[in-house]
Structure 1
């Protein structure tokens, strides 16, 4: 069965972005030839889930394109009625139904790339199978949190942790 994996970065103090969705702080760990396992991870993924705010931020950063739509079936979770585009489904139904449907289908893993509201919804329903969190060596002090709260306790099993010379630490957990 397919797994839903949260694959995301956050600051040491738990933020996904600044209050105005600014992400330039992620560049402090950029290093030529280092992708932190991104390429290998995505070999086992064929579906991508993201919230509408994160989708809009990606479009601003990429000049109006969702790069993941070139290779993956993409689902943008929204409250709005938006017409689908090639490889992008704008979904405003029950997220639990969507995840159960995707997990029951043949295919590779499903990745979620945020944002905080979507992560909260998925965690409330205990739908995330694995968490891969890259902790960036910076304190933002304020911004948009990855883990918003308002969920029940979820016990996890540590699968691995990797430290990189850039200061990035990647944590990998699965639900028990």
Structure 2
């Protein structure tokens, strides 16, 4: 059995932002194309656990009228500093992230999908807990906003895996821990 991996699967602008400064994500729609999912379907068939930060969770729920579809599809963990009651298929976790990852990796199942935002990415990177990075670079410069990579981490060596260029201009970069 293959060891479960933590995989960051996320989008960013060419200049490294995952959202505008007011959390607008509408710019992601510039690459929407009928029948093109950029490998998302294949990717999600390999995962059964979903990690997301509380702010990103709240933004997604706000955009979808209070719904959080990931909770219906995956074992879902929202990483937070608050003590919140689990609800609607979501487990709110405010403990040590490395303990959670260690616990998840020894359980049988698919890979672990991390969807952001910047704070959870930084938290995972500080402890070198991300095994693979799949980053869809959207062909737009936002100029300012919320950076995907906040810094404040030690160097992490990566090994390139095949990247993919799409007709829409989206380039999907793929790296794994070296």
TM bucket (normalised to shorter chain) is over 0.9
Aligned residue number for residue 18 of structure 2: 16
Aligned residue number for residue 79 of structure 1: 81
Secondary structure of the 1:90 match is strand
Q: Give 1:30-41 correspondences, 5 Å limit.
A: 30-41=32-43
Q: What is the CA-CA distance between 1:87 and the residue it aligns to?
A: 2.3
Distance 2:165 2:79 in 1: 32
Aligned residue number for residue 110 of structure 2: 108
Aligned residue number for residue 126 of structure 1: 128
| Structure 1 unmatched ranges of 5 or more | none
Aligned partner (choices 140, 143, 150) of residue 148 of structure 1: 150
Compute the TM-score of the two structures, normalised by the length of structure 2. 0.98
Secondary structure of the 2:162 match is strand
CA RMSD of aligned residues (A): 0.6
| Structure 2 unmatched ranges of 5 or more | none
C-alpha deviations, 1:98-145, integer Å up to 9, x for none?
A: 011101111100000000010001001000000000000000000000
Runs of 4+ in 1 over 6 A off after TM superposition: none
Q: What is the CA-CA distance between 1:85 and the residue it aligns to?
A: 1.3
Secondary structure of the 1:82 match is coil
Aligned length: 176
Compute the TM-score of the two structures, normalised by the length of structure 1. 0.99
Q: What is the CA-CA distance between 1:170 and the residue it aligns to?
A: 0.1
Q: Give 1:88-107 correspondences, 5 Å limit.
A: 88-107=90-109
Aligned residue number for residue 164 of structure 1: 166
Distance 1:44 1:109 in 2: 6
Secondary structure of the 1:10 match is strand
